[in-house]
Amino acid sequence: MEIVVADNAGFCFGVERALEMVTRGEEPIDAPIYTLGPLIHNPQVVERLRRQGVRQVSSLDEVSGGTVVIPSHGVGPAVQRQARERGLRLLDATCPFVARAQDHARALAAEGYQVVILGDKGHPEVAGLVGAAGEQAVVIEHEDELAAVRVGARVGLVTQTTQATARLAAVAGALAERSRELRAFNTICAATTQRQESALRLAQQVEVMVVVGGKNSANTNRLRQLCEQTGVKTYHVETAAELDPRWFRNVGRVGVAAGASTPNWLIDEVVQALRGMGG
């Protein structure tokens, strides 16, 4: 069995940067260190951080001192304000591309546009975008949901950084038909697009795809969806322990893709395990 790893797989710039800020930052960080939600959407990396003393909290109420790290996918301005009011030290690891999407959302709202956000409802990055645009912002996951939305004359569109370009194009097209003025920002980040294109290319050349990454990772889930849409049998695993040898019986070629929050050591472990299954 031949094993092919996607050209672009694993950690992106924003995730590497966030991890470095916390583990090898140039400035000393006041302990204890807390992250607001997972620092990145990969449970195995978060577990390693926990063993190094970095604790994950879901709310500022659980923090009484030390440093609070804003994760790579960002938080809304209200949370940042609250942290400052409580005198907590903030280490902002928000990815610059997420921050750029927030800036566009804020500016569109300030200029009077009805802000539409294409993103996964309930995802922290989308909550941060809503925080920037204001509570009247509309969040949709699919162009079909626009049928139930009252679309105004002037609409501004921003996108969660991990969305698929085809979905953005569909939503922008639907909004253009129903508004007088549409300002659409493509805030999908290049790392996302590259990983999606690599995974799609590979999925068309193999019999089975294995997508490695957190089950809570939006960009990894998107890779799984895109691979499945090509019709190839696709398995999403977080670790090598989840691989089942029966998936690869009589398979000549298997592809491995990984999300932007998946570390190389997890990809390597999966490849090693596949070799042990005849790769």
Q: Which stretch binds ligand F3S (CB under 6 A): 12-20, 49-57, 102-110, 134-142?
A: 12-20
**CA dist 5 → 52, 198, 200, 253, 254 (Å):** 30, 9, 12, 11, 9
Q: Which stretch binds ligand F3S (CB under 6 A): 11-19, 102-110, 139-147, 220-228?
A: 11-19
With b for 16 or more beta-carbon neighbours within 10 A and e for fewer, the 27-48 pattern comes to eebeeebbbbbbbbbbbbbbee
Q: By CB under 6 A, is residue 226 in contact with ligand F3S? A: no
Instruction: Tell me whether residue 67 or residue 94 sits nearer to ligand F3S (CB atom).
Output: 94
Q: How many CB atoms lie within 10 A of CB 93?
A: 23
- Residue of 3, 5, 12, 254 interacting with ligand F3S (CB under 6 A): 12
Per-residue contact string for residues 137-176; x = within reach of ligand F3S by CB under 6 A: ------------------------xx--------------
Q: Active site residue: 125, 135, 145, 181, which one?
A: 125
Q: By CB under 6 A, is residue 196 in contact with ligand F3S? A: no
| 125 assigned to active site | yes
Q: By CB under 6 A, is residue 258 in contact with ligand F3S? A: no
The three-point CA angle 149-167-128 to 5° equals 70
Rounded CA separation 92/244 (Å)? 40
Name which of 125, 120, 266, 255 is nearest 195 in CA terms.
255
Q: By CB under 6 A, is residue 191 in contact with ligand F3S? A: yes
Rounded CA separation 96/74 (Å)? 9
* Interacting residues with ligand F3S (CB under 6 A): 12-15, 72, 95, 97-98, 161-162, 189, 191-192, 219, 260
Annotated catalytic sites, by residue? 125
